[in-house]
């Protein structure tokens, strides 16, 4: 097994001869430009670090690889360089073009290397029929961030205006003007409302965790309750999503008292919804879509669909599940986000979404981040100066899912 640098560094390894894959990854900070020296185009606000993509591919990747939200093609390039075939799907034409230029560039740069084939297609990750029924052996990607339009400018001209204004302001009140690159980073993914990163409603997943069979595990496990739990999970996964109320008469292992939470005998319910209960057009369309895909569910009437970030990402993960071969990995790189002074736990929500779709959680890795954006840094400095203990986010998650064998 290959252990890429940065995935094995830990004091416990120092004395040991064998390398050990650890759950906190730490790739040395390298200047973003030198790290991407073999990329021709880099005009994207949320690129993955090439070393991270490479490590994920080396550990979990298997050709052919799919990146359903490919951006400017970091996963595709790194896969090619490792001799794997890769296909990317990306919503924005401007990124598709850059990804394909990057692919061509790498081909020219390394004519004698045993490169894999790669291509980026313009498409929508919510409908991967563009892959023509081809199944893949790994899915690796980082999704767009929620509501990325909020601080965006809609054109190059506006970005330059922002840049010039900051020079004027610096002259007037002092301080440093923002750089051109920083002003351009406000261009975001694009202005299309269909880009999932631009959806302004987040949505919510209410998840009441399943019964935990702690007592019987203490006694040796394998009790009737754990079997019932297994069955419930299967039943839940067969239904795939929606509102569940899978009732099982689980035995009460802690005591017979009603107040003991461990004795609650309903398996739980998962409600996948948006904050708004509205019978509007988008709700009806989403409901119809859902019924076509997963069949009619009598609980469905209680679910509110609308266009939310989580709702649309649910469709993306469902499609990834469909095109991935059983027993293979899907790896999602995601970080928690801050909105209105609070944290949106996107990592945890992504895990729940993927479980709803049917994936199993294989592993959770934390990757150290070294390059906060100017805005994140300023925000953390300002907030902490006011005495508010909100941390500067310096980690992201590498969530490793497995499609079960059946
Ligand atoms: C975090 S970025 C991926 C960056 C990429 N890993 C790279 O290094 O270049 C997420 C991408 O998802 C794209 N995206 C948003 N909605 C999409 C959709 N419905 N289908 C496909 N791609 C979409 C965005 O345009 C954005 O480029």
**ipTM summary value:** 0.99
**What ligand 1 atom has the least distance to the C-alpha of 72?**
9
Ligand 1 within 6 A of CB of 49: no
- Report the DSSP pairing between strands 342-344 and 324-334: unpaired
Q: How confident is the model at residue 293 (pLDDT cuts 50, 70, 90)?
A: low
Ligand 1 within 6 A of CB of 349: no
Q: Is the pLDDT of residue 239 over 50?
A: no
Determine the distance separating the centroid of ligand 1 and the alpha carbon of 146, expressed in angstroms. 12
Determine the distance separating the centroid of ligand 1 and the alpha carbon of 214, expressed in angstroms. 41
pLDDT score of 18: 76
Ligand 1 within 6 A of CB of 47: yes
**What ligand 1 atom has the least distance to the C-alpha of 189?**
25
Q: Is the pLDDT of residue 277 over 90?
A: no
User: Please, are residues 190 and 94 in contact by the beta-carbon 8 Å criterion?
Assistant: yes
pLDDT score of 205: 63
Determine the distance separating the centroid of ligand 1 and the alpha carbon of 369, expressed in angstroms. 19
Other beta carbons within 10 Å of 271:
17
Ligand 1 within 6 A of CB of 149: no
Determine the distance separating the centroid of ligand 1 and the alpha carbon of 182, expressed in angstroms. 20
Determine the distance separating the centroid of ligand 1 and the alpha carbon of 49, expressed in angstroms. 14
Tell me the best of 50, 70, 334 to mutate to test the pocket of ligand 1, counting ligand atoms within 8 Å of each CB and taking the most.
70
Tell me the best of 120, 149, 195 to mutate to test the pocket of ligand 1, counting ligand atoms within 8 Å of each CB and taking the most.
195
The span from the CA of 177 to the CA of 252, in Å, is 65
pLDDT digits (tens, 9 = 90+) for 106-165: 999 999 999 999 999 999 999 999 999 899 999 999 999 876 655 555 666 777 777 777
pLDDT digits (tens, 9 = 90+) for 9-44: 777 766 666 789 999 999 999 988 899 999 999 999
Other beta carbons within 10 Å of 19:
15
The span from the CA of 337 to the CA of 325, in Å, is 31
Determine the distance separating the centroid of ligand 1 and the alpha carbon of 109, expressed in angstroms. 26
Q: Is the pLDDT of residue 403 over 80?
A: yes
User: Please, are residues 139 and 75 in contact by the beta-carbon 8 Å criterion?
Assistant: no
**Does the predicted TM-score (pTM) go above 0.80?**
no
The span from the CA of 26 to the CA of 316, in Å, is 29
User: Please, are residues 125 and 314 in contact by the beta-carbon 8 Å criterion?
Assistant: no
């Amino acid at each position: 097994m290959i252990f890429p640098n940065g995935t094995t560094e830990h004091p416990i390894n120092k004395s040991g001869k064998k390398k050990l894959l650890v759950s906190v990854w730490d790739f040395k900070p390298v200047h973003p430009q030198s790290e991407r020296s073999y990329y021709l185009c880099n005009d994207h606000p949320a690129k993955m670090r090439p070393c991270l993509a490479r490590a994920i591919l080396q550990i979990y990747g298997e050709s052919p690889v799919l990146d359903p939200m490919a951006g400017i093609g970091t996963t595709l390039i790194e896969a090619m360089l490792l001799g794997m075939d890769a296909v990317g799907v990306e919503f924005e034409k401007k990124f598709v073009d850059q990804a394909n230029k990057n692919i061509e560039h790498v081909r020219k740069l390394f004519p004698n290397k045993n490169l894999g084939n790669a291509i980026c297609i313009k498409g929508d990750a919510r409908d991967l029929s563009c892959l023509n029924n081809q199944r893949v052996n790994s899915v690796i990607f980082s999704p767009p961030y929620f509501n990325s339009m909020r601080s965006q400018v809609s054109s190059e001209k506006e970005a330059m205006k922002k840049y010039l204004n900051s020079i004027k302001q610096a002259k007037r009140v002092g301080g440093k003007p923002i750089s051109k690159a920083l002003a351009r980073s406000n261009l975001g993914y694009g202005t299309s409302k269909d880009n999932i990163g631009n959806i302004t409603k987040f949505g919510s997943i209410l998840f009441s965790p399943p019964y935990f069979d702690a007592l019987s595990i203490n006694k040796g496990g394998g009790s009737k309750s754990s079997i019932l739990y297994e069955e419930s999970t299967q039943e839940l996964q067969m239904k795939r999503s929606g509102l569940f109320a899978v009732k099982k008469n689980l035995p009460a292992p802690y005591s017979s008292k009603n107040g003991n939470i461990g004795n609650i005998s309903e398996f739980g319910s998962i409600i996948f919804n948006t904050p708004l209960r509205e019978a509007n057009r988008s709700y009806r369309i989403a409901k119809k879509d859902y019924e076509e895909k997963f069949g009619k569910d009598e609980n469905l009437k209680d679910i509110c669909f609308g266009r939310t970030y989580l709702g649309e990402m649910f469709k993306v993960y469902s499609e990834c599940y469909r095109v991935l071969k059983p027993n293979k990995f899907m790896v999602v790189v995601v970080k928690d986000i801050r909105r209105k002074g609070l944290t949106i736990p996107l990592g945890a929500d992504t895990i729940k979404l993927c479980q709803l779709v049917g994936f199993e959680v294989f592993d959770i890795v934390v990757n150290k981040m070294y390059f906060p954006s100017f805005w994140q840094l300023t925000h953390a400095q300002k907030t902490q100066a006011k005495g508010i203990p909100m941390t500067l986010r310096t980690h992201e998650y590498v969530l490793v899912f497995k499609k079960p064998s059946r």
